A = this chain, B = another copy of it.
Amino acid sequence: MPHVVTFGEIMLRLTTPGQSRFAQATELEVTFGGAEANVAVAIAQFGGQASFVTKLPDHELGQRAIDELQRCGVYTSHILRGGDRLGVYFLEQGASQRAGKVIYDRAGSALAMAEPSEWDWRKIFEGADWFHWSGITAALSPACAAMVQQASAAARSLGLKVSFDMNFRAKLWSPARAALVLTPLMQHVDVCICGASEAASVFGIAAASDEAAAIALAERFVFKAVAIPQRHSASASATQFGALLRVGGEVVQSRRHEITVVDRVGSGDAYSGGLIFSLMRGDDPSHANDFAVAAGVLAHTVPGDFPLFSLAEVEALAGGADGGRVQR
């Protein structure tokens, strides 16, 4: 089984239950999540090997983050312990015309305060085939951007494939700052996942179509593959999800699924995890994109960041099942 390493921050996610608001909730649901951790979980759930790298404080809630990853089958032996804080994010789910809301409380986290010298990438990548990171990690601190740079370079030099998901977060940095930090890092990236509007706002790629955006990205940064996730949300309760994928010169477009939303956080990461898994096992671009989109769709139907569904479920949806029958 191929082996993927992902690197980033995992946070304690505290979610208001049901449709209750921050002003109302008398309890918060405890889960954990973070873009790169979610990708690792996806790959482990599908049957691949996945290792998640981060730094976590040496207290019970830092340990809990590790427990939750282990439970999903993710390798945690390269996680460092130390620092003061576990990043936290508070999530209020939206409903109908009321948008979901995130309050980030992640400044000063163990990872954000870590130093590049703490990591031995050569050791971390032993036996690995693929390295994945996202823009969020680079946004956490200049040191984190440096770590990503070192990790990506090491990965490439060791023969790993490198994938990158833009994951632009306006509450973490500006598009201009993102462009400044990310542009030099793109040279180490093989597979780029980036929404069309992110390509426009961060990289200034104002394309007339998703295909054009994919081509422009691929040409500017010499990516082997570019994926453009596509969403259209009528409200907080209903959305469409699909994606365009360009591998080499081939462009494939998935169907667009109409979704009754349970939890949209982490659906992009499920797409990324699905794409990496599918490309790693050698699927053709069309199936890889359909598989990844199916993973993204299912992620909307499961509470929490983590993509807790199986290879068989993703394959079934990619193959046309609609979920309309109880399996009994």
Q: Smallest distance from the beta carbon of A99 to chain B beta carbons, Å?
A: 4
Is A120 engaged at the interface, CB distance under 8 Å to the other chain? no
Is A116 engaged at the interface, CB distance under 8 Å to the other chain? no
Is A302 engaged at the interface, CB distance under 8 Å to the other chain? yes
Query: Are B95 and A325 closer than 8 Å at their CB atoms?
Result: no
Query: Are B19 and A301 closer than 8 Å at their CB atoms?
Result: yes
Q: Smallest distance from the beta carbon of A5 to chain B beta carbons, Å?
A: 19
Given contacts A107-B108, A326-B94, contact A303 B99 (CB under 8 A): no
Residue of B nearest to A27 (CB): B27
Is A161 engaged at the interface, CB distance under 8 Å to the other chain? no
Is A176 engaged at the interface, CB distance under 8 Å to the other chain? no
Query: Are A21 and B308 closer than 8 Å at their CB atoms?
Result: yes
Residue of B nearest to A16 (CB): B30
User: Interface-forming stretch among A59-67, A126-134, A218-226, A270-278?
Assistant: A59-67
Given contacts A19-B302, A260-B95, A317-B97, contact A324 B28 (CB under 8 A): no
Selected from B67, B84, B101, B294, the residue in CB contact (under 8 A) with A326 is B101
Is A70 engaged at the interface, CB distance under 8 Å to the other chain? yes
Interface string of A228-264 (1 = CB under 8 A from B): 0000111111110000000000000000011111111
Hey, which chain B residues are within 8 Å of A17, CB to CB? Answer: 27
Given contacts A67-B72, A108-B108, contact A96 B23 (CB under 8 A): no
Q: Smallest distance from the beta carbon of A271 to chain B beta carbons, Å?
A: 14
Selected from B90, B234, B323, the residue in CB contact (under 8 A) with A94 is B323
Hey, which chain B residues are within 8 Å of A234, CB to CB? Answer: 322, 324
Query: Are B327 and A99 closer than 8 Å at their CB atoms?
Result: yes
Hey, which chain B residues are within 8 Å of A297, CB to CB? Answer: 96-97
Leading 10 A-B pairs by shortest Cβ distance: A233-B324, A102-B328, A71-B71, A22-B60, A100-B326, A98-B301, A236-B323, A237-B260, A96-B260, A97-B323
Given contacts A98-B323, A264-B326, 9 further A-B contacts (CB under 8 A): A23-B63, A67-B72, A96-B260, A97-B321, A98-B309, A170-B328, A171-B328, A234-B322, A235-B258
